[in-house]
């Protein structure tokens, strides 16, 4: 399609009774399932902290996703892990040894699935695996691991898994194993596989448990590209009968033979996008971009463009049109791990700061609501209870043959304990292939929409009583869609309400125009004087006379028909503005507000996704509580006992149950500690004879299985905005064989690399034999041995480092300005300075693959002398943190659109950057006198961005040139400090940076020093 044709062409959509009737007879392939949350890759690591410390925020999150008659999400998918990195981080192994009872409480995905049932009892739960624990060697072991974990979760929470991919994630399908697994599940009589005949956990505890387990659906194959198994499944009856759901990731395409459309259309099989692309960067700031609009003009793309919510919606539409995907699961939907790690900024919801309860809901949620709020999504009941609601080919309700094609695999007939979402409540709507279309280019991403290429998906009630058409316009052109409805469908002639999502207008909150009703469109009717008879509306009918039912009051009414005229169908003309998406629905969803005269949602359809206020992310340590004591200089402290923590409420067996803090997070065999995101290994709280509880790295070399990203055990703790601080922790080596293990304390970690072994701006690594290294991003800058430690201890008059196993030693690492200093048991060991030292970041703890314990973690402010202290004056504290870390695209307030960060001169502001560019955005200039300006409360600013060191800046502070021609430091990454403005009098300042030459300069983020 040429640019001109795509831009100017009116898109015709026809919804015919015969197509609706055919779709209604399809139980699985065309029923639109909806959307799901994937919990995996450590992306749910902080969720239990939200639940424990900010239950209101946590339950609001769960309610936002899963509550209501038409919920936003209806599936929770859980990745089974082995405590090794599988991208962002690891998922815990529920069974680290063959005979271990599955520790499902320490897996946040199971808790999320259980809690979702509070608002949606029929939520669908699905599991698959990445790499397996080291004891899993064959399919018998895989089956034991899966089955025992599934039954343990059911016994703990009352949640039975509904579907399983028994294969390895993102691998070519092993269809023989898939078939064997399905046969085992559906005929299982053994139940839980215990440890001997006297194990009380062995077997099935009830007929209900057995029947629910046997009803589990089987998925294949979660490949990371277009599925390769479709033809094999169709050709082999054993494979066909075993597979309930065909699933693969990201790609929207079918295979060359069209097998996935065949599986859905002809064979009534579900086809999922089982790991889908969400939103890259955030949509609140996205409209500030200056990306190419598709015409060679850098005027920006609103909320559209590469990686945005419109692209995400186009992926759903094209995925159905090309390969009949009727479900999409987002990895992650909830980003609840520390930010700027691998695959950062690709979520629908950001939940990064459990100490404050801060959560941000992206426009991607609004995009999904365009589908989910205007249709009944989910699964049909297994017994065909809704069959009488299908229209016949003639459009009459009832009488349609809903039987499947002979030989098709039937859904298991056992009744679920509770129905799936939408099941047995009201008929699930169908996606109608003939009334859906996509000419948008691209696969992953689906980004070829800049010339107004058509993109629309029609969902219809199986009795034809209502329909909703979702339309996406990810271009700078205004588009017109003309929707024709068969007159025999009950929906024909109903008023259509148009709901729209677009960027905020000037002066508005960022979400002011997300999923809002904007128009009611009355049907125009195609009138004909031909003899009455069976007529199918087509695009040719648009040449016939059109008559509107709108009355003098502007309301939709009945069309008067002249003698001999026949109504050949209703036509709706929908205008879609640039960079928007709309849903045109016959559902009675909006009404004119008599007070304002404007269209307003009816209560059931009101947009209720929470707004995130401007400047609402307090730093950990800026307020007392949850381990922080700012009055005494403590940013954070954790003894890992949690004696004063209140109980946590967990949804179990359809009621809230209050549990002890550590019990709710895993219990005595290993509980998830507070405020941690592991990137390799497993750092868990265990009983300790001397300390009550301690943090223990649980994975030794025997249990260190395969990984996506190899690396030693590491966990990140705290706030990325911490700057100048002292971190101390007690470390203890358990008995070991072979080479000496090590413990590591790291500081100023801001992510930015998938290899997390060497990710800290500075870390101190000490072996049990006393050999130590001070490192900068993994590069050795100082080293020493046990004798050095003894000498330093003697000089300081303190206890020396105790080598070997069985003793506690206190390790302290201080970062202050451009200097790092190390202490052992209070004795100063070494110091190192570098003008380019990373300026801020989290704390890390690390180990070799050995059992190492930690206790009494403490992060404190450091004190440095004032610039010109008076004799006898006390030291002035160094700035301990950034009060804000401002992304370069955050130019306007989220509350009212007022200016925040102002750019002058020639800049480009781009979305669509890589995962290690902060928020996937960057601002660049290569001209002199280009500048940016920020007003703030604080004592200085740090600039972050990639730099070759050639740029120089003129810095104006409160209107005066404070630093002329100041050099920018070279950096090797985006979130690395390239320029420091420090030492300002604490208070209100207005600072402007201007490029002094035409050397390239890039800005990724700004840290505001307290």
Each residue of 682-694: pLDDT tens digit? 999 999 999 999 9
Q: pTM of the full predicted structure?
A: 0.93
Residue 797, pLDDT > 60, answer yes
In tens, the pLDDT along 618-656 reads 999 999 998 999 999 999 999 999 999 999 999 999 999
Residue 941, pLDDT > 90, answer yes
Q: What pLDDT sits at residue 238?
A: 98
Give percent of the chain with pLDDT exceeding 90. 87
Residue 538, pLDDT > 50, answer no
- 882-1009 maps to CATH 2.60.120.260: yes
Average pLDDT for the chain: 92
Q: What 3-state DSSP class applies to 163?
A: strand
CATH topology agreement for domains 630-865 and 882-1009: yes
Tokens representing 912 are: 């669509």
Quote the CA–CA distance of 66 and 75 in Å, as a whole number. Answer: 9
- Sole residue written with tokens 């659906």: 217
- Sole residue written with tokens 């186009």: 314
Q: What pLDDT sits at residue 6?
A: 60
Radius of gyration of the chain (CA): 30
Quote the CA–CA distance of 765 and 821 in Å, as a whole number. Answer: 13
Q: What pLDDT sits at residue 563?
A: 59
- pLDDT bracket for residue 528 (50, 70, 90): low
Q: Are 462 and 385 in contact (CB under 8 A)?
A: no
Q: What pLDDT sits at residue 556?
A: 82
Residue 815, pLDDT > 90, answer yes
Quote the CA–CA distance of 941 and 1007 in Å, as a whole number. Answer: 6
Q: May I ask the CATH class of domain 630-865?
A: mainly beta
- Please return the burial class of 689, using the count of CB atoms within 10 Å of its CB with bins 0-12, 13-18 and 19+: exposed
Q: What pLDDT sits at residue 863?
A: 84
Write down how long the chain is: 1010
Tokens representing 1000 are: 């390239």
Q: Are 454 and 439 in contact (CB under 8 A)?
A: yes
Q: Are 969 and 847 in contact (CB under 8 A)?
A: no
Q: Where are the domains of the chain?
A: 630-865, 882-1009
Mean pLDDT of 506-515: 98
- pLDDT bracket for residue 560 (50, 70, 90): low
Q: What pLDDT sits at residue 663?
A: 98
In tens, the pLDDT along 419-449 reads 444 444 689 999 999 999 999 999 999 999 9
Q: Are 695 and 640 in contact (CB under 8 A)?
A: yes
Give percent of the chain with pLDDT exceeding 70. 90
């Amino acid at each position: 399609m040429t640019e001109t044709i795509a831009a100017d062409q009116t898109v015709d959509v026809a919804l015919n009774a015969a197509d609706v009737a055919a779709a209604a007879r399809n139980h699985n392939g065309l029923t639109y399932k909806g959307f799901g949350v994937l919990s995996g890759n450590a992306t749910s690591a902080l969720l239990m902290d939200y639940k424990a410390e900010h239950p209101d925020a946590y339950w609001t999150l769960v309610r936002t996703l899963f509550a209501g008659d038409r919920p936003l999400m209806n599936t929770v998918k859980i990745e089974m892990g082995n405590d090794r990195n599988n991208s962002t981080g690891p998922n815990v192994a529920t069974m680290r040894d063959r005979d271990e009872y599955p520790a499902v409480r320490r897996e946040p995905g199971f808790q999320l699935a259980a809690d979702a049932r509070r608002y949606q009892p029929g939520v669908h739960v699905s599991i698959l695996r990445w790499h397996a624990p080291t004891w899993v060697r064959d399919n018998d072991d895989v089956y034991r691991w899966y089955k025992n974990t599934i039954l343990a979760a059911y016994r703990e929470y009352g949640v039975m898994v509904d579907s399983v991919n028994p294969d390895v994630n993102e691998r070519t399908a092993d269809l023989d194993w898939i078939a064997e697994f399905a046969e085992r599940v559906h005929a299982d009589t053994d139940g839980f596989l215990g440890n001997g005949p006297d194990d009380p956990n062995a077997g099935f505890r009830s007929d209900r448990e057995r029947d629910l387990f046997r009803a589990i659906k089987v998925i294949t194959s979660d490949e990371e590209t277009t599925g390769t198994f479709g033809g094999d499944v169709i050709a082999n009856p054993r494979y066909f009968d075993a597979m309930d759901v065909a699933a693969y990731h990201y790609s929207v395409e079918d295979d060359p033979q069209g097998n996935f459309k065949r599986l859905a259309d002809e064979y009534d099989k579900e086809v999922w996008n089982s790991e889908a692309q969400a939103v890259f960067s955030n949509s609140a700031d996205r409209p500030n971009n200056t990306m190419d609009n598709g015409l060679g003009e850098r005027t920006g793309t609103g909320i559209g463009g590469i990686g945005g919510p419109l692209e995400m919606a186009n992926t759903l539409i094209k995925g159905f049109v090309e390969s009949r995907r009727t479900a999409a699961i987002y990895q992650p939907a909830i980003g609840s791990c520390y930010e700027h790690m691998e695959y950062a900024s690709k979520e629908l919801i950001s939940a990064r700061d459990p100490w404050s309860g801060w959560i941000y809901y992206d426009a991607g949620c609004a995009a999904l609501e365009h589908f989910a709020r205007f249709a009944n999504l989910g699964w049909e009941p297994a017994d065909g209870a809704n069959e009488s609601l299908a229209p016949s080919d003639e459009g009459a309700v009832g009488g349609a043959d809903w039987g499947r094609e002979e030989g098709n695999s039937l859904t298991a007939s056992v009744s679920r304990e509770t129905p799936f979402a939408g099941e047995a409540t009201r008929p699930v709507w169908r996606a109608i292939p003939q009334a859906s279309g996509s000419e948008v280019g691209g696969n992953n991403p689906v980004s070829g929409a800049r010339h107004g290429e058509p993109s629309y998906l029609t969902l219809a009630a199986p009795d034809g009583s209502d329909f909703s058409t979702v339309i996406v316009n990810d271009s700078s052109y205004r588009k017109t869609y003309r929707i024709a409805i068969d007159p025999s469908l009950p929906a024909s002639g109903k008023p259509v309400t148009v709901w729209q999502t677009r960027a905020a207008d000037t002066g508005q909150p960022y979400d002011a125009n997300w999923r809002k009703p904007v128009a009611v469109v009355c049907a125009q009717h195609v009138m004909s004087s031909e003899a009455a008879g069976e007529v199918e509306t087509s695009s040719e009918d648009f040449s016939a006379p059109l008559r509107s039912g709108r009355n003098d009051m502007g309301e939709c009414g009945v069309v008067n028909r002249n003698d001999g005229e026949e109504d050949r169908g209703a036509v709706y003309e929908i205008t879609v503005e640039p960079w928007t998406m709309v849903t045109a629905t016959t559902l009675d969803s909006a009404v004119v507000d008599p007070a304002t005269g404007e269209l307003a949602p009816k209560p059931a359809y009101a947009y209720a996704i929470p707004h995130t206020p401007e400047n609402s992310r307090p730093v950990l340590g800026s307020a007392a509580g949850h381990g922080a004591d700012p009055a005494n200089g403590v940013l954070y402290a954790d003894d890992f006992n949690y004696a004063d923590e209140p109980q946590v409420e967990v949804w179990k067996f359809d009621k809230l149950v209050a549990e002890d803090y550590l019990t709710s997070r895993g219990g005595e065999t290993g509980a998830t500690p507070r405020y941690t995101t592991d990137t390799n290994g497993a750092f868990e709280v265990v009983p300790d004879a001397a300390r009550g509880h301690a943090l223990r790295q649980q994975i030794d070399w025997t249990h260190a299985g395969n990984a996506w990203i190899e690396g030693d055990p590491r966990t990140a703790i705290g706030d990325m905005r911490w700057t100048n601080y002292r971190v101390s922790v007690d470390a203890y080596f358990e008995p070991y064989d072979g080479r000496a293990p090590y413990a590591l304390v790291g500081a100023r970690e801001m992510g930015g690399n998938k290899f997390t072994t060497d990710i800290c701006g500075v870390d101190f690594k000490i072996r049990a034999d006393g050999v130590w290294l001070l490192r900068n991003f993994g590069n050795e800058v100082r080293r020493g041995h046990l004798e050095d430690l003894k000498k330093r201890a003697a000089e300081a008059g303190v206890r020396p480092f105790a080598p070997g196993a069985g003793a506690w030693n206190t390790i302290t690492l201080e970062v202050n300005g451009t200097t790092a200093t190390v202490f052992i048991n209070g004795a100063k060991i070494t110091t190192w300075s570098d003008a380019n030292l990373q300026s801020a970041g989290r704390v890390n703890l690390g180990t070799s693959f050995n059992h190492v314990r930690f206790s009494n973690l403490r992060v404190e402010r450091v004190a440095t002398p004032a610039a010109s202290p008076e004799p006898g004056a006390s030291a002035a504290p160094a700035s301990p943190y950034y009060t804000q870390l401002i992304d370069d695209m955050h130019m306007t307030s989220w509350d009212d659109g007022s200016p925040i960060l102002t750019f002058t001169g020639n800049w480009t502001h781009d979305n669509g950057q890589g995962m290690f560019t902060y928020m996937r955005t960057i601002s660049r200039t290569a001209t002199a006198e280009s500048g940016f300006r920020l007003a703030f409360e604080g004592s200085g600013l740090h600039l972050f961005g990639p730099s070759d060191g050639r740029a120089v800046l003129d810095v104006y502070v409160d209107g005066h040139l404070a630093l002329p021609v100041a050099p920018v430091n070279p950096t090797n990454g985006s979130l690395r400090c390239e320029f420091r403005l420090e030492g300002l009098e604490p208070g209100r300042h207005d600072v402007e940076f201007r490029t002094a030459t035409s050397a390239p300069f890039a800005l990724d983020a700004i840290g505001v020093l307290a």
